[in-house]
Amino acid sequence: MKFTNGFFLSFETTKNELINKMSQSSVETKPNASNVTRRLQKELRTLMISGSPGISAFPEGDNMFKWVGTIEGGKGTVYEGLSYKLLLTFPPQYPIEAVKVKFETPCYHPNVDTHGNICLDILKEKWSALYDVRTVLLSIQSLLGEPNIDSPLNTNAADLWNDQVLYKKVLLEKYNKDVRKASQAMEEPHKHS
């Protein structure tokens, strides 16, 4: 019970007041489009200034909520020398909700499925509003060389991972085939012009 202005209030009344205040404050803390846009502009500047090797991302045209990123395989990994295009889609509730990231370039990896979806805890249950685009890209780059083979999306890749020689052979065959296929698809419209 609570005593205010000479009256005793029941626990239920106090609880309801608290719930009302909490719901009002949560409405006030929801990010709006202009705040999200400002945050993304700041993240873009940080990413450009950071000079982090092997990662980049830029908005797709004028849409700050959709970015195209590039990740290069880390030195000393089987992915060294390979480059992957990613699509980053920011929800209206960013950074409260995680950015959605998907490989556009097909990626043969234990934690990437055939549709480009990525199994990475910081993109799901371990997301924090403190993360930024740079952190996400560096985490994905790190995941390339250090997959979680206990939680695979691609079981074939996970099964091969421990034999790095064979894994690299299969990886390079698939990568080269996919890159050729992508460049042929890009050339196709020009042939009909």
Q: If we measure between CA atoms, which residue out of 46, 66, 50 comes closest to residue 58?
A: 66
Which of 64, 119, 138, 140 is catalytic? The answer is 119
Distant-in-sequence, close-in-space partners of 179: CB < 8 Å, separation ≥ 6: 105
H helices present in the chain, as ranges: 11-29, 33-50, 133-145, 155-160, 164-191
Q: If we measure between CA atoms, which residue out of 30, 27, 31, 74 comes closest to residue 53?
A: 74
Cβ atoms of 111 and 152 closer than 8 Å: yes
Residue 119 designated active-site = yes
DSSP code at position 99: P
Cβ atoms of 2 and 18 closer than 8 Å: no
d(CA 87, CA 66): 7
- What is the Rg, in whole angstroms, of the alpha carbon atoms belonging to the chain? 23
**Active site amino acids:** 119
